[in-house]
Amino acid sequence: MNQEVKINFPFDIKLTVKREDLLHPHISGNKFRKLKYNIIKAKQDGNSCLLTFGGAYSNHIAATAAAGREYNFKTIGIIRGEELEKKIDDNPTLAFAGSCGMEFKFITREAYRDKSNTDFINSLKEQFGSFYVLPEGGTNSLAVKGCEEILNEQDKKFTHIACASGTGGTVSGLINSAFPHQRVLGFPVLKGLDLSADIHKFVERDNWELITGYHFEGYGKVNEKLIAFINDFYVKTGIPLDPVYTGKLFFGVIDLINKGFFPEHSDILVIHTGGLQGIAGMNKELSRKKLPIIKTKENA
């Protein structure tokens, strides 16, 4: 569903949101797209178990667990941070994944760096048996194929397509499926990591660029300025944003509009990739630090 944002922007610029967050209550946004063809492939290969990787508040972990419950897969989550094993009940993401039947293995951050290592994967097979591996964040060629379906013929009118980027899979799908006249803008949420090489694994077009100045000092990092923006945007539009991905994306797009980055009469489509499940965990952290929390329909 596309929802136009009723804000008076300079330069006669229009902003529309593609509400991918509404695709599914638990497998939302780009995670729905990334999992679609991987689940088909896992079933075709006769797998009954999905194994993947993620951190404390991972959207991918939550979505994979929900997909496992819905499509009858056993799910295993390899979680970064041994200390989290004793905090599952206090972590909304892990508690939800566990309620979906996901089995966890908590490992050190050092061990987590070897998550793609063949020996490490083989050790997991010895422990858990056969499984279908989903990479961290869910990005692979099948995930990109799913993300290519985000845009449709109705989106042809837009001049720019913007989305947040973590591992590069979603923006790669958008680059491949964008119409010839459209420019795709990726907003990385990680600090100091150049995603260009990862994106080039999946794309051959030059209709895109990465906007790197809106990560707010790194993945999962927030400040009062970002929280105030997210809350103000929610009040004005009724569209909730998460603090890790979409909040930074929309902050960046609107800031660029006001700075004259976009040509006059630009018609921008911003992809809401979901991730709202992470708000509950972030609000716990914000409350602990005595900072303002993010407004939702439950607490507004």
- The pLDDT tens digits of the residues spanning 128-147 come to 999 999 999 899 999 999 99
Query: How far is it, in rounded angstroms, from Cα 28 to Cα 22?
Result: 6
Give Cα separations from 39 to 22, 54, 135, 238 (angstroms).
20, 18, 13, 33
Q: What is the pLDDT of residues 161-216, one digit of tens each?
A: 999 999 999 999 999 999 999 999 999 999 888 899 999 999 999 999 999 999 99
Closest CA to 234 of 281, 184, 190, 292: 292
State the distance between the two ends of the chain, measured CA to CA, in whole angstroms: 24
Residue whose tokens read 């010895």: 126
58 φ, ψ to 5°?
-60, 125
Q: Which amino acid is located at 190 in the chain?
A: L
Run of H or E including 288: helix 278-288
Query: How far is it, in rounded angstroms, from Cα 181 to Cα 115?
Result: 39
Query: How far is it, in rounded angstroms, from Cα 168 to Cα 195?
Result: 6
CA within 13 Å, CB half, 292: 16
Is 139 buried (19+), middle (13-18) or exposed (0-12) by CB count in 10 A? buried
**What pLDDT score does 300 carry?**
62
Query: How far is it, in rounded angstroms, from Cα 278 to Cα 263?
Result: 34
Q: Which two tokens stand for residue 202?
A: 């999946």
Run of H or E including 123: helix 118-128
What is the chain's pLDDT, residue by residue, as a tens digit (300 residues)?
899 898 889 899 999 999 999 999 999 899 999 999 999 999 999 999 999 999 988 999 999 999 999 999 999 999 999 998 888 999 999 999 999 999 999 999 999 998 989 999 999 999 999 999 999 989 999 999 999 999 999 999 999 999 999 999 999 999 999 999 999 999 999 988 889 999 999 999 999 999 999 999 888 888 999 999 999 999 999 999 999 999 999 999 999 999 999 999 999 999 999 999 989 889 888 898 888 899 887 776
Query: How far is it, in rounded angstroms, from Cα 70 to Cα 50?
Result: 13
Residue whose tokens read 């497998």: 27
**What pLDDT score does 87 carry?**
86
Query: How far is it, in rounded angstroms, from Cα 147 to Cα 30?
Result: 7
